């Protein structure tokens, strides 16, 4: 029986929906996979957008949204959309409650409120990272990187600081690493240095910088193995990477933490150093 005619009950919440997408990813038809990837990358838009508007942004026909919903066991797209709306309600209370919550208590500091919020988001990110990473996959990633002559680091936009930190950490540990900083739009020339004797460590989260996937694709076609750090199984890096590590950062006031990413970064750097010393 195809994935467009399921026998299982539909997912009851967003976490179950993510799991269902991940489980079916390899079997979904191209257009259903395309809209599923868009939905996971832009859940807020799916929560309150119109079917026509969502379909246009995802590059599909509105009927594809209905097909995706029915493939998961829902009667139609509106039922699927309720899952996204419930996720948003859980993350964000109603407007009045939010305004009240943002007001510091009498005598309290606004700066302290911000510090508390970002600290809580960082803590949640660390918990998610700890539970999402499989030990076996982490060890495989360390072994792959440890065997590389040069580790090429690729990231863009808000996650570029993670790649920059990795360049620093690998350098202090005596491990050859090359930061593809794309200065002067010379990313393709920089990544052209990668060979099959090297490895690429790439980082990209929704909404996924196109340059990162393009550069990683060039390295992969040259034979360089790829380890990806990303946030969903629908990331464009998944099709390219030999291994991928999931990090889902929490946010406060729509500003996402990088605590999980940086924790994984230092874990990989020290793990690679230990593996080389043991070898």
Whole-angstrom Cα distance, residue 86 to residue 241? 33
Q: Give the model's pLDDT for residue 132.
A: 87
Mean per-residue pLDDT for 192-216?
93
Q: Is the pLDDT of residue 233 over 90?
A: no
What is the C-alpha to C-alpha distance for residues 233 and 132, in angstroms, rounded to an integer?
Answer: 12
| 124 vs 168 pLDDT, higher one | 168
0.95 surpassed by pTM: no
pLDDT for the residue numbered 1? 43
What local confidence, expressed as pLDDT, does residue 108 receive? 61
Q: Listing from the earlier edge strand, what are the strands of the sheet with 243-246?
A: 177-180, 151-154, 199-204, 226-230, 243-246
Mean pLDDT of the 183-198 span: 96
Q: What domains are defined for the chain? A: 14-91 (1.10.10.10), 128-278 (3.40.50.10490)
Average pLDDT, the chain: 88
What pLDDT, on the 0 to 100 scale, is given for residue 164? 98
């Amino acid at each position: 029986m195809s994935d467009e005619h399921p026998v299982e009950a539909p997912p009851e919440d967003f976490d179950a929906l993510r799991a269902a997408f991940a489980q079916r990813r390899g079997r979904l038809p191209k257009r259903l996979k395309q809209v599923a990837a868009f939905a996971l990358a832009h859940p807020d838009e799916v929560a309150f957008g119109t079917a026509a508007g969502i379909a246009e942004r995802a590059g599909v026909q509105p009927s594809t949204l209905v097909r995706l919903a029915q493939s998961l066991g829902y009667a139609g797209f509106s039922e699927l959309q309720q899952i996204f709306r419930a996720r948003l309600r859980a993350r964000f209370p109603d407007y009045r409650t939010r305004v009240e919550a943002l007001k510091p208590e009498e005598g309290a500091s606004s700066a302290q409120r911000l510090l508390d919020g970002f600290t809580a988001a960082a803590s949640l990110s660390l918990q998610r990272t700890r539970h999402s990473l499989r030990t076996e996959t982490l060890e495989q990633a360390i072994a792959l990187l440890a065997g590389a002559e040069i580790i090429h680091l690729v990231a863009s936009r808000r996650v570029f600081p993670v790649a920059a930190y990795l360049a620093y950490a690998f350098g202090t540990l005596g491990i050859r690493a090359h930061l593809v900083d794309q200065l002067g739009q010379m990313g393709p020339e920089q990544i052209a240095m990668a060979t099959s004797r090297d490895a690429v460590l790439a980082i990209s989260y929704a909404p996924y910088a196109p340059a990162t996937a393009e550069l990683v694709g060039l390295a992969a076609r040259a034979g360089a193995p790829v380890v990806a750090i990303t946030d969903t199984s629908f990331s464009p890096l998944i099709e390219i990477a030999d291994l991928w590590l999931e990090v889902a950062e929490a946010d406060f006031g729509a500003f996402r933490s990088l605590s999980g990413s940086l924790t994984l970064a230092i874990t990989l750097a020290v793990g690679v150093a230990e593996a080389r010393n043991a070898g």
